[in-house]
Amino acid sequence: QVQAFIFDLDGVITDTAEYHYLAWKQLGGELGIPFDREFNEQLKGVSRMESLERILALGNRQHDFTAEEKEALATKKNEHYKELITKITPADVLPGITEFLRAIRAHGLRIGMASASKNAFVVVDRLGVQEYFDHIVDAATVANSKPHPEVFLRAAEVLGVPAEACIGVEDAEAGVEAIKAAGMFAVGVGTKEAMAKADVVVAGTAELSYEEIVAAFAAHTR
């Protein structure tokens, strides 16, 4: 029996995955390390410093900077990002999400958030969706970045629900891996290729159906 849903934020609740991409792309451009959306799939769900490391490795520049310089580069990206998210309003909640959250609530299930972002509370606040979440776990309280399961396990723990009774919702490869490593049922939002390890895949948030997902969970668990 499913007892809780645990949502990723960026790219699931709102399209901040695009803002992270644009902010990294700008920094990449400044460093002379261009990259495309396909490479960006590897950055989704991954912490700020780990994302920077992956971009520097792509350009073979990982040894060109001191730890302090890397901190400064990550801060620079975050400044671009913070500028982009000032524009967020409740109209930026992705299609179908509010209805989906209401359906989960109507069935008496708990709702948590597992985000790798240190900006999660600011984004949730700007979207005005905090009322739907019983608990939000953000990057500040976890030691290990997705694909490590820590952030999902921590969310289940504070919700007081066993991992096997949770359904995780993600748009990142690293995020789906984290959900599966936590022993949860995974819903992937995105392409079949990127979401290959998810138990259920939908192309977009508008296709998230409470009935279909819970039926798939029941069939999987039986």
Active site residue ranges = 8, 10
Residue 10 found at the interface with ligand G6P (CB under 6 A): yes
- What DSSP element (H or E) covers 16? helix 16-31
The CA-based angle 122-77-168, given to 5 degrees, is 50
Task: Give min distance, CB of 216 to ligand G6P, in A.
Answer: 24
Residue 154 found at the interface with ligand G6P (CB under 6 A): no
Rounded to whole angstroms, the Cα distance separating 13 from 92 reads: 9
Is 64 among the annotated ligand-binding positions?
no
Is 77 among the annotated ligand-binding positions?
yes
DSSP state of 220: H
Task: Give min distance, CB of 222 to ligand G6P, in A.
Answer: 32
Q: Which of 73, 88, 116, 200 binds ligand G6P (CB under 6 A)?
A: 116
Concatenated DSSP letters for 75-101?
HHHHHHHHHHHTT--GGGBPTTHHHHH
Q: Which two tokens stand for residue 207?
A: 């296709």
In the complex with Mg ion, the residue whose CB is nearer, 94 or 153, is 94
Binding site for Mg ion (CB under 5 A): 8, 10-11, 171-172
Partner whose footprint covers residue 119, from Mg ion, ligand G6P, none (CB < 5 to 8 Å by kind): ligand G6P
Q: Are strands 135-137 and 110-114 parallel, antiparallel or unpaired?
A: parallel
Please report, for the chain, how many H helices and E strands are present, in that order: 9, 6
Q: Which stretch binds ligand G6P (CB under 6 A): 45-53, 97-105, 149-157, 208-216?
A: 45-53
Q: Which stretch binds ligand G6P (CB under 6 A): 25-33, 40-48, 197-205, 211-219?
A: 40-48
Task: Give min distance, CB of 215 to ligand G6P, in A.
Answer: 28
Residue 26 found at the interface with ligand G6P (CB under 6 A): no
Residue 40 found at the interface with ligand G6P (CB under 6 A): no
Rounded to whole angstroms, the Cα distance separating 84 from 80 reads: 6
Q: Which of 61, 102, 118, 192 binds ligand G6P (CB under 6 A)?
A: 118
Residue 166 found at the interface with ligand G6P (CB under 6 A): no
Beta strand residue intervals within 61-180, DSSP E:
110-114, 135-137, 166-170
Task: Give min distance, CB of 82 to Mg ion, in A.
Answer: 18
| 56 within 8 A of 93, measured Cβ to Cβ | no
The 10 Å Cβ neighbour count of residue 57 is 12
- Residues annotated within the binding site for substrate are 8-10, 24, 43-48, 51, 77, 115-119, 146
- Residues annotated within the binding site for Mg(2+) are 8, 10, 170-171
